[in-house]
Copies of this chain bind each other. A is one copy, B any other.
Amino acid sequence: MRIGIIGASGYAGQELLRLLASRPGDEVVFVTSRQEAGQRLTEVLPFLASLANYDSLKFEEPKGLAGRADAYFLAVQHGAAMSLVPELLVGEAKVVDLSADFRLRDPEEYQKWYAPHSAPEFLAEAAYGLPELHAETIKKARLTANPGCYPTSVILGLAPAVKAKVVDYSQIIVADSKSGVTGAGRGATLSNSFCEVQDNFSSYKTSAHRHAPEMVQELSLIASEKIDLAFTPHLLPINRGILSTIYFKGHSGVALEELWGAYQAFYAHSPFVRLRPLGASPKTADARGTNFCDIGLFQDKISGLFKIVSVIDNLCRGAAGQAVVNLNLMTGKPEGFGLEFAPFRP
């Protein structure tokens, strides 16, 4: 399979290159990057030197790409993806879009949080690429919208409870998420400079973040009713990892063990979700570099609220790793093909 990566110099693109470096049978045939166009791939990213065919690749401008690959990963800014998808989706080509452009079903909702949508005719056919929820749809799709990193963590943390109808929505669900800095992308900004981030911690976009409507959409779909939640992102002084601490009220009489049973059943056939034993706290480092989502369940002693702690690697499960899984499903390969390695620790 010939693979093209559009937007390969950003962190999600680099992570795709890392994951594909030792993938048998497939080949990365081109990489694009507006910023690095003309440069040799391994000059810009020396950690990839001597791997696969990478020493021979140069970054290209993202032009005239249709037909050059069998599968495309779009790791570009929102807005750029929807202008590329129509031309790429020819013949048997498959596209996994890591941007936000095809995640929201409703073009008005997209416009409210992002900008007017220029290719709304593809919204209906795009699969929402969360395999634990939509594997069958993804298998048939030629276009998959890879979920946002925060939504991946929050939706996987809540889906079994919502599905099991144990949540009392009179208490608004709180999702307090903390992310590593790679989530902000590779770029030169003062706010992401070492001296501003190191030994520091803060929330950001505290009133509203674009990833919240994705959570509302998917959780409402499972619940068959509109679900609100209060979501807050924070910036952790780490490279990778998202941990979401999620608070909800259970219906009267629901015990922690019962809840745990619902989670075990829901994820019984999910190779990339690891339920931690009751009482054990998932840690971001334990999932680092992999597609795993580690989940822990707790009940607050004072208030009785349930707390779900959900951990992923934002670059792998929250972006490139999940994208590879989606391509695997879209092309008839095993879900975990090319991802059978251990987390990177310490």
Q: Using a CB–CB distance below 8 Å, which chain A residues touch chain B? A: 11, 14, 17-18, 21-22, 43, 46-51, 170-172, 174, 176, 178, 181-182, 186-190, 192-204, 206-208, 212-213, 216, 228-232, 234, 236-241, 243, 245, 247, 249, 271, 274, 276-277, 279-289, 292, 294, 296, 298-303, 305, 307, 309, 311, 340-346
B198 touches A198 (CB 8 A): yes
Measured between beta carbons, the chain B residues less than 8 angstroms from A247 are 174, 176, 230, 247
Measured between beta carbons, the chain B residues less than 8 angstroms from A311 are 202
CA of A96 to CA of B107, assembled, Å = 60
Given known pairs A11-B346, A342-B17, A346-B195, the reply for A203 and B281 (CB within 8 Å) is yes
CA of A233 to CA of B232, assembled, Å = 16
Given known pairs A176-B245, A245-B176, A302-B230, the reply for A283 and B202 (CB within 8 Å) is yes
How many Å from the CB of A336 to the closest CB on chain B? 10
CA of A51 to CA of B283, assembled, Å = 17
A46 touches B280 (CB 8 A): yes
Copies in the complex: 4
Within 8 Å by CB of A236, from B50, B196, B236, B303, lies: B236
B346 touches A344 (CB 8 A): no
A178 touches B178 (CB 8 A): yes
A342 touches B193 (CB 8 A): no
CA of A48 to CA of B287, assembled, Å = 9
B346 touches A182 (CB 8 A): yes
How many Å from the CB of A125 to the closest CB on chain B? 27
B287 touches A234 (CB 8 A): no
A170 touches B172 (CB 8 A): no
Within 8 Å by CB of A212, from B213, B283, B302, lies: B302
The residue in chain B whose Cβ has the minimal distance to the Cβ of A290 is B47
Measured between beta carbons, the chain B residues less than 8 angstroms from A172 are 171, 249, 303, 305
Given known pairs A172-B305, A345-B47, the reply for A193 and B202 (CB within 8 Å) is no
The residue in chain B whose Cβ has the minimal distance to the Cβ of A204 is B281
Measured between beta carbons, the chain B residues less than 8 angstroms from A303 are 172, 228-230
Measured between beta carbons, the chain B residues less than 8 angstroms from A343 are 18, 47-48
CA of A212 to CA of B302, assembled, Å = 8
Within 8 Å by CB of A188, from B181, B189, B296, B346, lies: B189
Measured between beta carbons, the chain B residues less than 8 angstroms from A170 are 170
CA of A198 to CA of B284, assembled, Å = 11
Within 8 Å by CB of A274, from B21, B50, B200, B243, lies: B50
Given known pairs A237-B237, A343-B47, the reply for A305 and B206 (CB within 8 Å) is no
